[in-house]
Amino acid sequence: MRIDVLTLFPEVFEPYVASSIVGRAVAQGIVSIRCTSFRDFASDRHRSVDDRPFGGGPGMVLMCGPVFDALEHVEAQSETKPLRILLTPQGEKLTQSVVAELAKAPRLVLLCGHYEGFDERIRTGIAAREISIGDYVLSGGEPAAMVLIDAVVRLLPGALGDEASAADESFTAGTLEYPQFTRPREFRGMEVPEVLLSGDHGKIAAWRREQSLERTLERRPDLLEARQYMALD
Ligand code: ADE
């Protein structure tokens, strides 16, 4: 997969895309991530990318010119037609099923808005899928783009060391993940549940399923409503 990020702050992505699972996926060639600055596409000598809003009001608004030029520039670098994504608090909520859908695309272009907002003609003119990572306002789309990149990249084949781990996790199965334990068996008086030491794989699987359902019922009952259950559940 190729991911292009269009942003005013390309430098904030560098350490992130070089670390952990995303960094390993980049190193293995599973994904390539390139960041492009809108500022490189400014047309005046001050390299302006924003201006005061027509009609007045506080703050500055990201201008059309640098955004359209940057987008057209990166899209022309490859024949593969990308899925355009605009990060905005007004977009559809990012969920695991949206992430799984995005992970199937060969190419994504992520556009990060900034400052007080962007010219409405960016939204209407580029016809991107608009995505929000939650009901709160960030100062820019950059943290949202990083969240999206992380969630998508870990679903790409080969990105996780153990392929089973993505399938097991919270949300993939529509329920929250069961609790995990590692050595030591006892820590400050807190014991590891006996069943996990039993070596009985059937019992362990049943215990994990029960924990997962119990946790979901307790913390996120909304996730259970839409689900179909097996007799065992
Ligand atoms: N930009 C600002 N706030 C955002 C949010 N919650 N999600 C995505 N992009 C954003």
Residues 113 and 200 in one domain: no
List the CATH number of the domain containing 176: 1.10.1270.20
What's the pLDDT tens digit per position in 174-231? 899 999 999 999 999 999 999 999 999 999 999 999 999 999 999 999 988 766 676 6
| Nearest protein Cα to ligand 1, atom 7 | 132
* Cα 84 to middle of ligand 1, angstroms: 16
Overall size of the chain counted in residues: 233
Average pLDDT over residues 70-80: 97
Residue 111 pLDDT class (50, 70, 90 cuts): very high
State the Cα–Cα distance between residues 120 and 63, nearest whole angstrom. Answer: 9
What's the pLDDT tens digit per position in 163-185? 667 766 777 678 999 999 999 99
- Domain boundary (122, 153, 184) is at 153
Residues 40 and 99 in one domain: yes
Residues 136 and 25 in one domain: yes
Residues 89 and 181 in one domain: no
- Domain boundary (104, 130, 153) is at 153
List the CATH number of the domain containing 46: 3.40.1280.10
- Domain boundary (153, 188, 207) is at 153
Work out how many domains the chain is built from and give that number. 2
> What is the separation of C-alpha 84 from the centre of its chain, rounded to a whole number of angstroms?
14
Q: Is the residue at 196 inside a domain? A: yes
Residues 182 and 125 in one domain: no
| Nearest protein Cα to ligand 1, atom 4 | 89
Q: Is the residue at 233 inside a domain? A: no
Residues 208 and 139 in one domain: no
Q: Is the residue at 7 inside a domain? A: yes
- Best mutation site among 133, 135, 136, 150 for ligand 1 pocket (most ligand atoms within 8 Å of CB): 133
**Could you write out the DSSP letters of every residue in the chain?**
-EEEEEES-GGGTHHHHTSHHHHHHHHTTS-EEEEEEGGGG--STT---EEPPTT--SS-EE-HHHHHHHHHHHHTT-SSPPEEEEEEEEEEEP-HHHHHHHTT-SEEEEEE-BTT-B-HHHHHHH-PEEEESSSS--SBSHHHHHHHHHHHHTTSTTSSSSTHHHHHSTTTTSSPPPP---S-SEETTEEPPGGGGS--HHHHHHHHHHHHHHHHHHH-HHHHHT----TT-
Whether this model's pTM surpasses 0.85: yes
| Nearest protein Cα to ligand 1, atom 2 | 138
Residues 101 and 57 in one domain: yes
Domain that holds residue 54: 2-153
Query: Residues enclosing ligand 1, CB less than 6 A?
Result: 87-89, 113, 132-134, 136-138, 141, 144
